[in-house]
Structure formats: C-alpha cells, structure tokens
Amino acid sequence: MTVEHADSRCMLVVALELSSGSQPAQAALTADDAGRLVELVGRDLATFASDLPGLDLVLAAAHFDPAEILRPGWPVHQRLDELLRRAPQRNQGPRLIAFGADAGGEIPLPLQAQPDLQGGALRVLPVLISGDAGNVERVANALEEALLERGMAAADTALLIQQAFGARVEHVRFLTHLDLAAMMSLQYQHQNLGNLWPLIETALLAADGEEWLDLDPEPLLLYRDGQARMALLGAQAWRKRHGASFGNDAETLARGFEYFQARQRQLAAVLEAHGIPVTFVYCDDQCNPREMLAS
C-alpha cells in the first residue's frame, strides 16, 4: 500500500499501551524531556527508513486518545504542521522539534487533549515528518511497510516515556496514521462497534464520499457532506422497522426499544468522539427512514 501524504507530510503516532487500570501522571512533557524524546524517536524511526535524517521530524510530547487523531482532516497533525511552519530555521536543514509543556508547566492549547476522552488503555503521541516530496514518499512507504509488524520502540525510548509521563506502559510502538486506523477498526470489531467503522473510515479517507449503516437491528445512519444523519425512530416506527425479531410480547418489545435508544446514543457518541457531527432526523411510522435521511 502506498501511504497517502499531502504537502510532503507523513503522519505517525507513538502508541502507548498502558497497563490495566493505569493512566499517565503527566499530560505533557517538559521541554527538556520532550527534546530528549524526539531525538530517540528520530533515531528509532531511522532504523526503518534510511532517508529520514534528511527530513524535519516534529513530535507533540502530549498524549491523546486515538479518536482525537482519527478525525476528518487529521486536525491534531494539522496543528503540528502549523507549529512546524512557524518554528525557526526553516529551510536551513532537517530539524528535530518537540512541543511540550511551557516553562510554567502549562500545556499550550494545540497540545491539550480532550478531557472527556481520557481513561483509555491506548494513548498516542502525534509525530509528523515533513520535507522534500520524494524523500517523504520513500520514508512514508518504508514506514508503512515496517511499522505495524516491527515498529516497537527501543528500550531506552520506552523507558524515557514511562518515567517522564509517570506511566505504567506495557508496550511502546510506532504506527502510521493508517496503521492506527486499522488497529482501531479491529478494536471496534471486538467492542461490537464494527458496523460503524465504514462510516468513520469514509469520513477519514474520502470525506466527500457517502456511506450507509443499514443493518437490522442497528440504527439507520448516513454519512454525507461531512456529517452523519441518524434516523430517530419513535416506538411505533421502531417496531415497524425492527420489531419482527422481538415477537409480540409487550415487555420484550419495550426492552428492545430501550436497547435501540441506548445504541443510538452510543453510536452518536463514538461518531462525535471522531469529530463527526451527528444530526438526528425524526421519522414516524408513516415515513420511509432511508428516504428521509437521503433527502
């Protein structure tokens, strides 16, 4: 597979697989620790791509939930690119740059992770490689070929991350943005969210595209024009569309409808975590929900 990269950029993450029940004590590293870390990250990645030392490499020494990375337009990496463009010594040779907490310990706004998405077992540090288009392409393809299966960080890199973030870490590995997407797709399959992934993938990789989730007993969803539209069914409309598999028992039907409503909220929350706005379209039992969403 050829890695997609716009404007001579390659997007990566350093993935921290945390020990069960643990969370990093620090949201971002100090400038000194961030500088040490970016040097180690550059060294480690160069073992997979020999052209890397000729390119700029920038690291956000702050950890995010994967959903914050996997958003349309790749906004966290876009912020890194903007910071890189404003950094000194541009066009004066390759640079290793890290952004972390300021001298007072405050985390700059571009590096602040979303508080309500904290607590997961996987946290990621964004990395951006930038420079000559030909070199970036060679590096990007080399990393895409190598990292998913062989991209473990060196022991001293993992140790620095563990000590500086105050984290109990099981594994530290490097992933391309596409590797991260593939990993999350598999994780969503295990969490009974696999049916939703094609909508998220379309938003990430073909934002102008269209994708339906139209599988009984799932809520009906349409991704189009940068947003998701979900059919908000009343009880009678739900029974007409999904009730056949629940029989005629009133209590069973009531429980089925309650589960359906909870599932709607769950899917909407996942989409919004990925930066995909959700619009609910009310459908009564007299309308065609698919036609309502498509209109």
Q: pLDDT per position in the chain (295 positions), as tens?
A: 344 444 489 999 999 999 988 999 999 999 999 999 999 999 999 999 999 999 999 999 999 999 999 999 999 999 999 999 888 766 666 899 999 998 888 888 888 999 999 999 999 999 999 999 999 999 999 999 999 899 999 999 999 999 999 999 999 999 999 999 999 999 999 999 999 999 999 999 999 999 999 999 999 999 999 999 999 999 999 999 988 878 888 888 899 999 999 999 999 999 999 999 999 999 988 889 999 999 8
How far, in Å, CA of 38 to CA of 25, rounded? 20
What pLDDT was estimated at residue 192?
97
What pLDDT was estimated at residue 92?
66
Please write down the long-range contacts of 107-116, taking CB distance under 8 Å and 24 or more positions apart: 107/27, 107/28, 107/62, 110/60, 110/79, 110/80, 110/82, 110/83, 111/28, 111/60, 111/61, 111/62, 111/79, 112/27, 112/62, 113/27, 113/62, 113/63, 113/64, 113/65, 113/68, 114/64, 114/65, 114/68
Can you name the CATH fold of 194-294? Transcription Regulator spoIIAA (3.30.750)
What pLDDT was estimated at residue 106?
86
Strands 227-233 and 278-283: parallel
Tokens 């569309």 found at: 241
What pLDDT was estimated at residue 2?
40
- 235 three-state secondary structure: helix
Domain with CATH 3.30.750 in the chain: 194-294
User: pLDDT tens digits, residue range 116-140?
Assistant: 999 999 999 999 999 999 999 999 9
Cα distances (Å, whole numbers) of residue 7 to 52, 88, 134, 136: 16, 19, 11, 10
User: pLDDT tens digits, residue range 186-214?
Assistant: 999 999 999 999 999 999 999 999 999 99
